Amino acid sequence: MAARQAPAAGRAEGAPDAKDWIQLFNGKDLKDWTMKFAGYDLGVNVHDTFRVEEGLLKVRYDKWPSFNEEFGHIFYRQPFSHYRLAAEYRFVGEQAPGAPASLDWALRNNGLMLHAPHPKTMLKEQDFPISIEVQLLGGLANGKPRTTANLCTPGTHVVMDGKLVTRHCVNSRSKTYEGDQWVRVEVLVHGDELIRHIVDGETVLEYTKPQIGGGEVKSFDPAIKVDGTPLTGGYIALQAESAPTDFRKVELLNLEGCMDPKSSRFRAHYVKSNPSACTP
């Protein structure tokens, strides 16, 4: 069965129970996650960057002697296609030591990477996963607006208003979040049919047809980066781009499952049918 039409902005898919949300970050450890840093093998947690302390998933640079564009990502173990992802984050402290002036864009900058290939497909020197990035930004206390839940596209393109968007980043319509305040960003994902960014319950950006294409990613495997390939699902990752960040919640509502009302596994909020999920 094909996915149902996406709900109008501000309207939920159904009435999911709180227990239907999957806690991707369990508040205790990172056993369900895998790290990949540019220049390092898969699974190496360089200088203890990703850690769990005080019930928070922390991105820290206090053990780094210096930073030389060793961008990092931490991937959840399971891929998804149709879902609602939520992350509650805050920026804290100072940028990584030695981060050059050319990385001013990385100040108070993190991201939710969506629809990425399996992290084992990343080459050792690859800087970013081929993915759709929901860019998380904090204000810089300079009086200038700096939106969050923007779109960036390492090795990808999307379609907006019927046109292919090839520029790397597109700003959202969110307000600026200054200081170390907690912010909740949600992303509604319906495969390659729709991706919607939501902040404080308001839609701030929307697009369709995510696909592989373009640049802004280095040292990739050309067998993986096949331009024009639709991105219908994949892995989710959080970033380490030189900005200390806390995550207190990373949770996901799966929108793919049993849509047979006669089954005990039926959920009204599903939008894509997976008949195998109806079987115990």
Whether the predicted pLDDT of 78 surpasses 90: yes
Q: What is the pTM of this model?
A: 0.93
Burial class, 96, CB count within 10 angstroms (exposed 0-12 / middle 13-18 / buried 19+): buried
Nearest to 240, CA basis, from 106, 65, 120, 110: 110
pLDDT > 70 fraction of the chain, expressed in percent and rounded: 95
Q: What is the DSSP letter of 271?
A: -
For residue range 166-181, what is the model confidence (pLDDT) as tens digits? 999 999 999 999 999 9
Single-letter amino acid, residue 276: S
* Residue the block writes with tokens 């907690």: 182
Burial class, 199, CB count within 10 angstroms (exposed 0-12 / middle 13-18 / buried 19+): buried
At residue 17, the pLDDT reads 87
Whether the predicted pLDDT of 183 surpasses 90: yes
Q: Measured between alpha carbons, how far is 188 from 252 in angstroms, rounded to an integer?
A: 10
Q: Measured between alpha carbons, how far is 219 from 233 in angstroms, rounded to an integer?
A: 22
Q: Measured between alpha carbons, how far is 178 from 248 in angstroms, rounded to an integer?
A: 18
For residue range 106-152, what is the model confidence (pLDDT) as tens digits? 899 999 999 999 999 999 999 999 999 999 999 999 999 999 999 99
For the segment 2-12, the average pLDDT, to the nearest whole number, is 42
Whether the predicted pLDDT of 4 surpasses 50: no
Q: Specify the 3-state DSSP secondary structure of 143.
A: coil
For the segment 224-239, the average pLDDT, to the nearest whole number, is 98
Nearest to 195, CA basis, from 225, 159, 168, 229: 159
At residue 166, the pLDDT reads 94
At residue 14, the pLDDT reads 64
Contacts of 40 (CB under 8 A, 6+ apart): 46, 70, 124
Angle at the Cα of 126 from the Cα atoms of 123 and 132, rounded to 5 degrees: 110
Contact assessment for residue 86 and residue 246, using Cβ atoms and an 8 Å cutoff: no
The dihedral over CA atoms of 49, 50, 51, 57, expressed in degrees to the nearest 10, equals 130
Nearest to 101, CA basis, from 69, 65, 135: 69
Domains of the chain: 19-278 (2.60.120.560)
At residue 98, the pLDDT reads 82
At residue 104, the pLDDT reads 81
At residue 1, the pLDDT reads 37
Alpha helices in the chain (DSSP H): none
DSSP symbols for 41-108 = -TT--GGG-EEEETTEEEE--TT-S--SS--EEEEESS-BSEEEEEEEEEE-SPPPTT--GGGGGGTT
The answer for 213, left when phi > 0, alpha when psi is -120 to 50, beta otherwise, is left
Tally the residues of the chain. Answer: 280
* Residue the block writes with tokens 């369990």: 26
